[in-house]
Amino acid sequence: MTLPRFVVVKSNHNKKYLRYLKQEDGEEDAPAGFLKFTGEEARSHYAKYEVEMAKSTENKGFVHIRCCYNNKYWVRVNGTDKFEGDVLIVAGADEPEEDQSKPSRTLFEPVYVDPIDDEDDDNKPDDKAEDDLEEDSQVVQFRHVQLGRYTCLHNDSDALVLFGGSNSATDDPNNLESRDVCTVVNWESLVILPKHVVFKGDDDNYITA
């Protein structure tokens, strides 16, 4: 199983898309390449990422993830004063790095989630949540290869950031709404209309307001 080349990443916890935040977005004391699960629109170019397979044989199955807006790769950084003690994952690396000895390593392992299928289980999402999962999508966790931990939403609900701090002992991977579970959607499956469109009916007349 492999991920599509171009994807959007949706949190199964707060149902928002992971997006790149620009400086003018007003996020105080945020590091460069800051990522947050606050996107409302899957088709936004701030929410588009490219998945690149690792090249070395010893890293088979691992991937690099590049933010298509600023052309930089996911990489770990120590949190600023606002996120003291946290290891953030930001779109901040200029090049992919596979050297295991370097803290700038950009490798992640997609862990494919096989959700439980039990009608009586409390962890099973309701029909609305199931309908909300796009057809051309995969449910995954992303494990930072060097840290050995999963990326997830920040515990503070006021700072919904992607950070390297989850482990399988505290987040149930079978629970579709766990903080470290995401739905990865194939970007190329999204229907993106031009900014301005016209619609023509079967009678050859155009629709007007």
Three-state DSSP at 3 gives coil
Q: What is the dihedral of CA 111, 52, 77, 86, to 10 degrees?
A: -20
Which comes out higher in pLDDT, residue 70 or 78? 70
DSSP string of 71-116?
TEEEEEEE--GGGTT-EEEEEEESS----TT-TT---EEEEE----
Per residue in 117-136, pLDDT tens? 444 445 444 444 344 445 67
Q: Which residues contact 147 (CB under 8 A, 6 or more apart)?
A: 76, 87, 164
DSSP 8-state code for residue 24: G
Q: Note whether 104 and 153 are within 8 A (CB).
A: no
For the ranges 63-67, 74-78, 83-87, 193-197, the maximum mean pLDDT occurs at: 63-67
Per residue in 13-64, pLDDT tens? 999 999 998 876 666 667 788 899 999 999 999 999 999 999 999 999 999 9
Instruction: Say whether pLDDT at 3 is over 70.
Output: yes
Residue 35's nearest CA partner among 52, 25, 5 is 25
CA quadruple 118, 154, 94, 30: dihedral sign: positive
Domains and CATH numbers, the chain: 6-118+127-190 (2.80.10.50)
Three-state DSSP at 50 gives strand
